[in-house]
Structure 1
Amino acid sequence: MARSTTPDAPLARFAPTDRLWRLPGVYAPQHDTRLLAAALRHEGSLSGLDVLDIGTGSGALALYAAHLGARVTALDVSRRAVWSTRFNAWRAGLPVDVHRGRIEDLAGRRFDLILSNPPYVPAPHRRPPTRGAARAWDAGVDGRHVLDQLGRAAPALLGPHGVFLLVHSALSGADATLDMLEAAGLRAKVADRELIPYGPVLRSRLGWLRARGLVGPDETMEELVVIRAEHI
Protein backbone atom coordinates (compact mmCIF):
# COMPACT_ATOMS: atom_id res chain seq x y z
CA MET A 1 0.00 0.00 0.00
CA ALA A 2 2.31 2.72 -1.25
CA ARG A 3 1.67 6.32 -0.31
CA SER A 4 3.17 9.29 -2.12
CA THR A 5 2.45 12.76 -3.42
CA THR A 6 2.90 11.57 -7.00
CA PRO A 7 -0.14 10.86 -9.20
CA ASP A 8 -1.51 7.34 -9.36
CA ALA A 9 -1.30 5.08 -12.38
CA PRO A 10 -4.13 5.48 -14.92
CA LEU A 11 -7.50 4.74 -13.33
CA ALA A 12 -9.75 5.04 -16.39
CA ARG A 13 -11.53 1.82 -15.47
CA PHE A 14 -13.36 3.55 -12.66
CA ALA A 15 -12.56 7.24 -12.55
CA PRO A 16 -13.36 10.10 -14.91
CA THR A 17 -9.84 11.44 -14.57
CA ASP A 18 -6.72 9.81 -15.94
CA ARG A 19 -4.72 10.26 -12.76
CA LEU A 20 -5.55 11.08 -9.15
CA TRP A 21 -3.33 13.13 -6.86
CA ARG A 22 -3.08 12.52 -3.13
CA LEU A 23 -1.16 13.80 -0.16
CA PRO A 24 1.01 11.39 1.89
CA GLY A 25 -1.09 9.12 4.09
CA VAL A 26 -4.18 9.26 1.86
CA TYR A 27 -5.39 5.85 0.71
CA ALA A 28 -4.34 4.96 -2.82
CA PRO A 29 -7.14 3.46 -4.98
CA GLN A 30 -6.62 -0.29 -5.20
CA HIS A 31 -8.47 -3.55 -5.87
CA ASP A 32 -11.20 -2.76 -3.35
CA THR A 33 -11.81 0.65 -4.95
CA ARG A 34 -12.13 -0.90 -8.39
CA LEU A 35 -14.46 -3.63 -7.13
CA LEU A 36 -16.75 -1.08 -5.50
CA ALA A 37 -16.64 1.11 -8.61
CA ALA A 38 -17.82 -1.85 -10.69
CA ALA A 39 -20.73 -2.36 -8.28
CA LEU A 40 -21.58 1.32 -8.57
CA ARG A 41 -21.54 1.06 -12.35
CA HIS A 42 -23.95 -1.89 -12.18
CA GLU A 43 -26.51 0.31 -10.42
CA GLY A 44 -27.18 2.00 -13.77
CA SER A 45 -27.86 5.68 -14.25
CA LEU A 46 -27.09 7.90 -11.26
CA SER A 47 -28.44 11.03 -12.93
CA GLY A 48 -30.11 13.25 -10.36
CA LEU A 49 -29.45 10.93 -7.41
CA ASP A 50 -27.99 12.09 -4.09
CA VAL A 51 -24.91 9.97 -3.36
CA LEU A 52 -22.76 9.87 -0.22
CA ASP A 53 -19.18 8.54 -0.29
CA ILE A 54 -18.03 7.74 3.27
CA GLY A 55 -14.25 7.64 3.73
CA THR A 56 -13.60 9.17 0.33
CA GLY A 57 -9.77 9.09 0.47
CA SER A 58 -8.49 10.57 -2.78
CA GLY A 59 -12.08 10.93 -4.03
CA ALA A 60 -11.92 8.25 -6.74
CA LEU A 61 -15.40 6.86 -6.08
CA ALA A 62 -16.94 10.27 -5.40
CA LEU A 63 -15.60 11.55 -8.71
CA TYR A 64 -16.85 8.48 -10.52
CA ALA A 65 -20.35 8.90 -9.10
CA ALA A 66 -20.33 12.58 -10.10
CA HIS A 67 -19.14 11.62 -13.57
CA LEU A 68 -22.17 9.31 -13.79
CA GLY A 69 -24.50 12.22 -13.03
CA ALA A 70 -25.01 12.04 -9.26
CA ARG A 71 -25.07 14.90 -6.79
CA VAL A 72 -22.21 13.76 -4.57
CA THR A 73 -21.31 14.44 -0.97
CA ALA A 74 -17.89 13.08 0.08
CA LEU A 75 -16.89 12.60 3.71
CA ASP A 76 -13.61 11.77 5.43
CA VAL A 77 -12.08 12.23 8.88
CA SER A 78 -8.71 13.09 7.35
CA ARG A 79 -7.87 16.67 6.42
CA ARG A 80 -5.40 15.39 3.85
CA ALA A 81 -8.09 13.25 2.24
CA VAL A 82 -10.44 16.22 2.08
CA TRP A 83 -7.77 18.40 0.47
CA SER A 84 -6.86 15.64 -1.99
CA THR A 85 -10.48 15.07 -3.00
CA ARG A 86 -11.20 18.76 -3.40
CA PHE A 87 -8.16 19.15 -5.64
CA ASN A 88 -9.06 16.11 -7.75
CA ALA A 89 -12.66 17.29 -8.13
CA TRP A 90 -11.50 20.76 -9.13
CA ARG A 91 -9.07 19.36 -11.67
CA ALA A 92 -11.73 17.07 -13.12
CA GLY A 93 -14.29 19.86 -13.24
CA LEU A 94 -16.78 17.81 -11.23
CA PRO A 95 -19.08 19.19 -8.51
CA VAL A 96 -18.32 17.17 -5.37
CA ASP A 97 -19.29 18.56 -1.97
CA VAL A 98 -16.41 17.47 0.29
CA HIS A 99 -16.59 17.59 4.10
CA ARG A 100 -14.27 16.64 6.93
CA GLY A 101 -16.15 14.83 9.66
CA ARG A 102 -17.91 11.64 10.68
CA ILE A 103 -21.10 10.00 9.52
CA GLU A 104 -22.93 11.21 12.62
CA ASP A 105 -22.45 14.77 11.38
CA LEU A 106 -24.92 14.07 8.56
CA ALA A 107 -27.82 13.07 10.83
CA GLY A 108 -31.12 14.18 9.35
CA ARG A 109 -30.01 14.03 5.72
CA ARG A 110 -31.15 11.36 3.26
CA PHE A 111 -29.34 9.86 0.29
CA ASP A 112 -30.41 7.66 -2.60
CA LEU A 113 -27.13 5.76 -2.55
CA ILE A 114 -24.34 5.44 0.01
CA LEU A 115 -21.00 3.84 -0.75
CA SER A 116 -18.01 3.19 1.45
CA ASN A 117 -14.58 1.59 1.31
CA PRO A 118 -13.79 1.86 5.04
CA PRO A 119 -10.85 0.63 7.12
CA TYR A 120 -11.41 -3.12 7.58
CA VAL A 121 -8.11 -4.92 8.12
CA PRO A 122 -7.83 -6.86 11.43
CA ALA A 123 -4.92 -5.52 13.46
CA PRO A 124 -3.17 -6.53 16.71
CA HIS A 125 -4.49 -3.44 18.47
CA ARG A 126 -7.89 -3.22 20.13
CA ARG A 127 -8.50 0.31 18.92
CA PRO A 128 -7.47 1.59 15.47
CA PRO A 129 -4.94 4.41 15.08
CA THR A 130 -6.14 8.00 15.16
CA ARG A 131 -3.42 9.32 12.87
CA GLY A 132 -0.95 8.16 10.24
CA ALA A 133 -1.42 6.14 7.05
CA ALA A 134 -2.59 3.01 8.92
CA ARG A 135 -5.78 4.84 9.88
CA ALA A 136 -6.93 4.11 6.31
CA TRP A 137 -6.89 0.33 6.83
CA ASP A 138 -6.42 -0.82 10.48
CA ALA A 139 -9.80 -1.47 12.14
CA GLY A 140 -9.29 -3.23 15.48
CA VAL A 141 -8.64 -6.88 16.27
CA ASP A 142 -11.68 -8.12 14.33
CA GLY A 143 -11.51 -5.51 11.56
CA ARG A 144 -15.01 -4.32 12.40
CA HIS A 145 -14.46 -1.11 14.35
CA VAL A 146 -15.61 1.11 11.47
CA LEU A 147 -17.86 -1.48 9.80
CA ASP A 148 -20.03 -1.69 12.90
CA GLN A 149 -20.24 2.09 13.16
CA LEU A 150 -21.40 2.24 9.55
CA GLY A 151 -23.95 -0.49 10.14
CA ARG A 152 -25.46 1.51 12.98
CA ALA A 153 -25.49 4.90 11.26
CA ALA A 154 -25.80 4.42 7.49
CA PRO A 155 -29.32 2.88 7.30
CA ALA A 156 -30.85 6.00 8.87
CA LEU A 157 -29.30 8.10 6.08
CA LEU A 158 -30.93 6.12 3.28
CA GLY A 159 -34.04 7.42 1.61
CA PRO A 160 -36.89 5.15 0.43
CA HIS A 161 -35.47 2.29 -1.66
CA GLY A 162 -31.98 3.68 -1.06
CA VAL A 163 -28.96 1.46 -1.68
CA PHE A 164 -25.86 0.98 0.47
CA LEU A 165 -22.73 -0.41 -1.25
CA LEU A 166 -19.89 -1.48 1.04
CA VAL A 167 -16.61 -3.25 0.29
CA HIS A 168 -14.42 -5.07 2.80
CA SER A 169 -12.29 -8.15 3.36
CA ALA A 170 -13.91 -11.48 4.12
CA LEU A 171 -11.45 -11.60 7.05
CA SER A 172 -13.70 -9.03 8.72
CA GLY A 173 -16.78 -11.24 8.48
CA ALA A 174 -19.18 -10.88 5.55
CA ASP A 175 -21.90 -12.78 7.41
CA ALA A 176 -21.62 -10.40 10.35
CA THR A 177 -22.13 -7.45 8.01
CA LEU A 178 -25.13 -9.07 6.34
CA ASP A 179 -26.73 -9.88 9.70
CA MET A 180 -26.08 -6.34 10.96
CA LEU A 181 -27.69 -4.71 7.93
CA GLU A 182 -30.63 -7.11 7.91
CA ALA A 183 -31.24 -6.32 11.58
CA ALA A 184 -31.33 -2.63 10.64
CA GLY A 185 -34.21 -3.33 8.24
CA LEU A 186 -32.26 -3.55 5.00
CA ARG A 187 -32.29 -6.36 2.46
CA ALA A 188 -28.63 -7.32 2.11
CA LYS A 189 -26.57 -9.69 -0.03
CA VAL A 190 -23.02 -10.25 -1.26
CA ALA A 191 -23.11 -8.63 -4.70
CA ASP A 192 -19.56 -9.45 -5.80
CA ARG A 193 -16.39 -11.22 -4.68
CA GLU A 194 -12.77 -11.16 -5.77
CA LEU A 195 -9.66 -13.04 -4.68
CA ILE A 196 -6.45 -11.04 -4.62
CA PRO A 197 -2.91 -11.87 -3.43
CA TYR A 198 -2.04 -10.71 0.07
CA GLY A 199 -0.73 -7.19 0.01
CA PRO A 200 2.11 -5.80 2.15
CA VAL A 201 -0.14 -5.00 5.13
CA LEU A 202 -1.49 -8.55 5.47
CA ARG A 203 1.92 -10.07 4.77
CA SER A 204 3.41 -7.98 7.57
CA ARG A 205 1.04 -9.56 10.14
CA LEU A 206 0.54 -13.07 8.78
CA GLY A 207 1.87 -14.67 11.95
CA TRP A 208 -0.68 -12.84 14.06
CA LEU A 209 -3.53 -13.57 11.62
CA ARG A 210 -2.65 -17.28 11.59
CA ALA A 211 -2.40 -17.40 15.37
CA ARG A 212 -5.94 -16.00 15.58
CA GLY A 213 -7.20 -18.52 13.01
CA LEU A 214 -8.17 -15.85 10.51
CA VAL A 215 -6.02 -17.37 7.75
CA GLY A 216 -4.76 -20.87 7.14
CA PRO A 217 -1.06 -21.82 7.11
CA ASP A 218 -0.97 -22.14 3.32
CA GLU A 219 -3.34 -19.38 2.31
CA THR A 220 -1.94 -16.60 0.13
CA MET A 221 -5.11 -14.93 -1.19
CA GLU A 222 -7.52 -12.48 0.38
CA GLU A 223 -11.20 -12.42 -0.56
CA LEU A 224 -12.84 -9.03 -1.01
CA VAL A 225 -16.62 -8.77 -0.88
CA VAL A 226 -19.07 -6.08 -1.96
CA ILE A 227 -22.19 -5.96 0.18
CA ARG A 228 -25.31 -4.47 -1.39
CA ALA A 229 -28.09 -3.49 0.99
CA GLU A 230 -31.38 -1.89 0.00
CA HIS A 231 -33.90 0.02 2.07
CA ILE A 232 -37.20 -1.87 1.86
Structure 2
Amino acid sequence: MQKIEVCFTPALLDLYAIEDSIVVVIDILRATSSMTYGLQNGAKAIIPVMDVEDCNDYKNSDYLLAAERNGEVVEGFDFGNSPFSYTTEKVNGKTIVLTTTNGTKALMLAQERAFKVVVGSFLNLESLSQWLILQQKNVLLLCAGWKDKFNLEDSLFAGAVVNRLKNDFSHFDDASVAAEDLYLTAKQDLRGYLHKSSHSSRLEQLNIEKDVQFCLQSNICTVIPVLINSELVPLEN
Protein backbone atom coordinates (compact mmCIF):
# COMPACT_ATOMS: atom_id res chain seq x y z
CA MET A 1 0.00 0.00 0.00
CA GLN A 2 1.04 3.57 -0.60
CA LYS A 3 2.17 6.32 1.73
CA ILE A 4 0.80 9.76 2.54
CA GLU A 5 3.10 12.58 3.56
CA VAL A 6 2.37 16.21 4.43
CA CYS A 7 4.83 19.00 3.69
CA PHE A 8 3.81 22.05 5.71
CA THR A 9 5.72 24.58 3.58
CA PRO A 10 7.43 24.69 0.17
CA ALA A 11 10.64 25.55 2.00
CA LEU A 12 10.80 21.89 3.10
CA LEU A 13 9.95 20.35 -0.27
CA ASP A 14 13.55 19.40 -1.06
CA LEU A 15 13.42 16.97 1.88
CA TYR A 16 10.82 14.79 0.12
CA ALA A 17 11.34 12.27 -2.66
CA ILE A 18 8.35 13.03 -4.87
CA GLU A 19 9.41 11.54 -8.19
CA ASP A 20 6.89 8.72 -7.71
CA SER A 21 4.28 10.79 -5.85
CA ILE A 22 1.16 12.68 -6.76
CA VAL A 23 1.62 16.11 -5.21
CA VAL A 24 -1.51 17.96 -4.12
CA VAL A 25 -0.84 21.69 -3.92
CA ILE A 26 -2.94 23.43 -1.27
CA ASP A 27 -3.51 27.17 -0.92
CA ILE A 28 -6.96 27.39 0.63
CA LEU A 29 -7.12 31.18 1.06
CA ARG A 30 -7.42 31.63 -1.84
CA ALA A 31 -5.42 30.47 -4.86
CA THR A 32 -6.25 26.78 -5.16
CA SER A 33 -9.88 27.43 -4.23
CA SER A 34 -10.16 29.96 -7.05
CA MET A 35 -8.33 27.70 -9.50
CA THR A 36 -10.76 24.89 -8.74
CA TYR A 37 -13.79 27.16 -8.98
CA GLY A 38 -12.59 28.71 -12.23
CA LEU A 39 -12.10 25.39 -13.98
CA GLN A 40 -15.42 24.16 -12.61
CA ASN A 41 -17.01 27.22 -14.20
CA GLY A 42 -15.62 26.52 -17.64
CA ALA A 43 -12.23 28.20 -17.78
CA LYS A 44 -10.24 26.58 -20.58
CA ALA A 45 -6.98 26.61 -18.63
CA ILE A 46 -5.09 28.45 -15.91
CA ILE A 47 -1.40 29.17 -16.46
CA PRO A 48 0.40 29.62 -13.12
CA VAL A 49 3.50 31.80 -13.25
CA MET A 50 6.00 32.69 -10.57
CA ASP A 51 6.28 36.46 -10.88
CA VAL A 52 4.22 39.50 -11.80
CA GLU A 53 6.73 40.14 -14.60
CA ASP A 54 5.95 36.69 -16.04
CA CYS A 55 2.27 37.62 -16.04
CA ASN A 56 3.09 40.82 -17.91
CA ASP A 57 4.59 38.76 -20.73
CA TYR A 58 1.05 37.78 -21.74
CA LYS A 59 -0.33 41.33 -21.94
CA ASN A 60 -0.70 41.31 -25.70
CA SER A 61 -2.63 38.03 -25.70
CA ASP A 62 -6.35 37.48 -25.32
CA TYR A 63 -5.80 35.77 -21.96
CA LEU A 64 -7.20 37.11 -18.71
CA LEU A 65 -4.38 38.28 -16.45
CA ALA A 66 -4.62 37.78 -12.70
CA ALA A 67 -2.03 38.87 -10.15
CA GLU A 68 -2.20 38.91 -6.34
CA ARG A 69 0.37 39.94 -3.77
CA ASN A 70 -0.24 40.10 -0.02
CA GLY A 71 -3.95 39.47 -0.55
CA GLU A 72 -4.54 42.35 -2.95
CA VAL A 73 -4.93 42.65 -6.72
CA VAL A 74 -1.75 43.97 -8.33
CA GLU A 75 -2.43 47.29 -10.02
CA GLY A 76 -2.99 47.01 -13.74
CA PHE A 77 -4.34 43.44 -13.77
CA ASP A 78 -7.82 42.12 -14.51
CA PHE A 79 -8.25 40.51 -11.08
CA GLY A 80 -6.47 38.63 -8.32
CA ASN A 81 -7.34 35.36 -6.65
CA SER A 82 -10.80 36.00 -5.22
CA PRO A 83 -13.11 33.10 -6.13
CA PHE A 84 -15.77 35.66 -7.05
CA SER A 85 -13.58 36.68 -10.00
CA TYR A 86 -13.76 33.13 -11.36
CA THR A 87 -17.49 32.91 -12.08
CA THR A 88 -18.89 31.38 -15.26
CA GLU A 89 -19.72 34.83 -16.63
CA LYS A 90 -16.10 35.95 -16.34
CA VAL A 91 -14.02 32.86 -17.15
CA ASN A 92 -16.02 30.44 -19.31
CA GLY A 93 -13.93 29.52 -22.35
CA LYS A 94 -11.05 31.74 -21.22
CA THR A 95 -7.42 31.03 -20.42
CA ILE A 96 -6.17 32.80 -17.28
CA VAL A 97 -2.57 33.64 -16.45
CA LEU A 98 -2.20 33.80 -12.67
CA THR A 99 0.49 34.68 -10.18
CA THR A 100 -0.09 34.65 -6.41
CA THR A 101 1.99 35.15 -3.30
CA ASN A 102 2.17 31.48 -2.34
CA GLY A 103 0.13 29.06 -4.42
CA THR A 104 1.68 29.49 -7.85
CA LYS A 105 5.17 29.22 -6.37
CA ALA A 106 4.28 25.89 -4.77
CA LEU A 107 2.90 24.61 -8.08
CA MET A 108 6.06 25.51 -9.97
CA LEU A 109 8.33 23.92 -7.37
CA ALA A 110 6.28 20.72 -7.26
CA GLN A 111 6.25 20.35 -11.03
CA GLU A 112 10.05 20.19 -11.16
CA ARG A 113 10.12 16.67 -9.69
CA ALA A 114 6.66 15.25 -9.01
CA PHE A 115 5.08 12.33 -10.86
CA LYS A 116 1.91 14.43 -11.17
CA VAL A 117 0.68 17.72 -9.70
CA VAL A 118 -2.97 18.42 -8.88
CA VAL A 119 -4.78 21.13 -6.97
CA GLY A 120 -6.81 20.67 -3.80
CA SER A 121 -9.34 22.77 -1.91
CA PHE A 122 -12.31 22.22 0.35
CA LEU A 123 -14.42 22.93 -2.73
CA ASN A 124 -13.31 19.66 -4.37
CA LEU A 125 -12.32 17.68 -1.27
CA GLU A 126 -14.43 14.59 -1.90
CA SER A 127 -13.77 14.17 -5.62
CA LEU A 128 -10.05 14.71 -5.04
CA SER A 129 -9.90 12.22 -2.17
CA GLN A 130 -11.76 9.52 -4.10
CA TRP A 131 -9.51 9.99 -7.12
CA LEU A 132 -6.34 9.76 -5.01
CA ILE A 133 -7.52 6.47 -3.51
CA LEU A 134 -7.95 5.00 -7.00
CA GLN A 135 -4.51 6.00 -8.26
CA GLN A 136 -2.48 3.63 -6.07
CA LYS A 137 0.38 6.11 -5.91
CA ASN A 138 2.19 7.81 -3.06
CA VAL A 139 0.69 11.16 -2.13
CA LEU A 140 2.38 14.31 -0.86
CA LEU A 141 0.09 17.04 0.40
CA LEU A 142 2.02 20.27 -0.16
CA CYS A 143 0.81 23.25 1.84
CA ALA A 144 1.66 26.54 0.14
CA GLY A 145 1.82 28.23 3.55
CA TRP A 146 2.53 31.94 3.86
CA LYS A 147 5.84 33.14 2.42
CA ASP A 148 7.50 29.78 3.13
CA LYS A 149 6.09 29.58 6.66
CA PHE A 150 3.52 27.20 8.17
CA ASN A 151 -0.11 28.26 8.09
CA LEU A 152 -3.25 26.84 9.65
CA GLU A 153 -5.72 26.78 6.78
CA ASP A 154 -3.62 24.71 4.39
CA SER A 155 -2.63 22.32 7.16
CA LEU A 156 -6.29 21.85 8.12
CA PHE A 157 -7.13 20.85 4.57
CA ALA A 158 -4.20 18.45 4.44
CA GLY A 159 -5.62 16.85 7.58
CA ALA A 160 -9.04 16.55 5.98
CA VAL A 161 -7.51 14.63 3.06
CA VAL A 162 -5.51 12.37 5.39
CA ASN A 163 -8.71 11.66 7.31
CA ARG A 164 -10.42 10.46 4.13
CA LEU A 165 -7.47 8.49 2.74
CA LYS A 166 -6.05 6.81 5.82
CA ASN A 167 -7.93 3.51 5.48
CA ASP A 168 -6.52 3.01 1.99
CA PHE A 169 -2.89 3.89 2.69
CA SER A 170 -0.41 2.07 4.86
CA HIS A 171 2.15 4.67 5.88
CA PHE A 172 1.82 8.16 7.33
CA ASP A 173 4.51 10.54 8.45
CA ASP A 174 4.22 12.51 11.68
CA ALA A 175 3.14 15.60 9.75
CA SER A 176 0.12 13.65 8.46
CA VAL A 177 -0.81 12.65 12.00
CA ALA A 178 -0.48 16.24 13.20
CA ALA A 179 -2.50 17.61 10.27
CA GLU A 180 -5.32 15.15 10.86
CA ASP A 181 -5.40 15.91 14.58
CA LEU A 182 -5.63 19.61 13.73
CA TYR A 183 -8.49 18.97 11.32
CA LEU A 184 -10.41 16.81 13.79
CA THR A 185 -10.10 19.58 16.38
CA ALA A 186 -11.41 22.23 13.99
CA LYS A 187 -13.81 20.44 11.66
CA GLN A 188 -17.05 21.33 13.47
CA ASP A 189 -16.35 25.04 13.00
CA LEU A 190 -13.55 25.65 10.49
CA ARG A 191 -14.20 29.37 10.28
CA GLY A 192 -14.27 29.76 14.04
CA TYR A 193 -10.98 27.91 14.37
CA LEU A 194 -9.35 29.94 11.61
CA HIS A 195 -10.10 33.20 13.40
CA LYS A 196 -6.85 32.29 15.19
CA SER A 197 -4.87 32.28 11.94
CA SER A 198 -2.63 35.13 10.83
CA HIS A 199 -3.76 34.97 7.22
CA SER A 200 -7.40 35.09 8.20
CA SER A 201 -6.66 38.29 10.07
CA ARG A 202 -4.88 39.72 7.02
CA LEU A 203 -7.87 38.95 4.81
CA GLU A 204 -10.30 40.44 7.32
CA GLN A 205 -8.35 43.69 7.17
CA LEU A 206 -8.86 43.65 3.40
CA ASN A 207 -12.62 43.33 3.97
CA ILE A 208 -12.96 40.06 2.05
CA GLU A 209 -14.54 37.85 4.71
CA LYS A 210 -16.97 36.56 2.08
CA ASP A 211 -14.00 35.04 0.24
CA VAL A 212 -12.92 33.18 3.37
CA GLN A 213 -16.40 31.83 3.94
CA PHE A 214 -16.66 30.74 0.33
CA CYS A 215 -13.33 28.90 0.35
CA LEU A 216 -14.33 26.84 3.40
CA GLN A 217 -17.36 25.31 1.66
CA SER A 218 -17.00 21.58 1.06
CA ASN A 219 -17.71 19.71 -2.14
CA ILE A 220 -19.38 22.30 -4.33
CA CYS A 221 -17.01 21.35 -7.17
CA THR A 222 -16.15 18.03 -8.78
CA VAL A 223 -13.31 19.19 -11.04
CA ILE A 224 -9.72 18.24 -10.18
CA PRO A 225 -7.20 20.69 -11.69
CA VAL A 226 -4.08 18.92 -12.99
CA LEU A 227 -0.88 20.64 -14.10
CA ILE A 228 0.06 19.50 -17.60
CA ASN A 229 3.13 21.20 -19.06
CA SER A 230 2.50 24.85 -18.15
CA GLU A 231 -1.28 24.73 -17.74
CA LEU A 232 -3.80 23.71 -15.12
CA VAL A 233 -6.65 21.96 -16.87
CA PRO A 234 -9.53 19.76 -15.69
CA LEU A 235 -8.40 16.20 -15.03
CA GLU A 236 -9.96 13.71 -17.40
CA ASN A 237 -10.61 10.48 -15.52
Normalising by structure 1, report the TM-score. Answer: 0.30
Answer 1 or 2: which has greater helix percent.
2
User: Higher relative contact order by CA 8 Å / sep ≥ 6: 1 or 2?
Assistant: 2
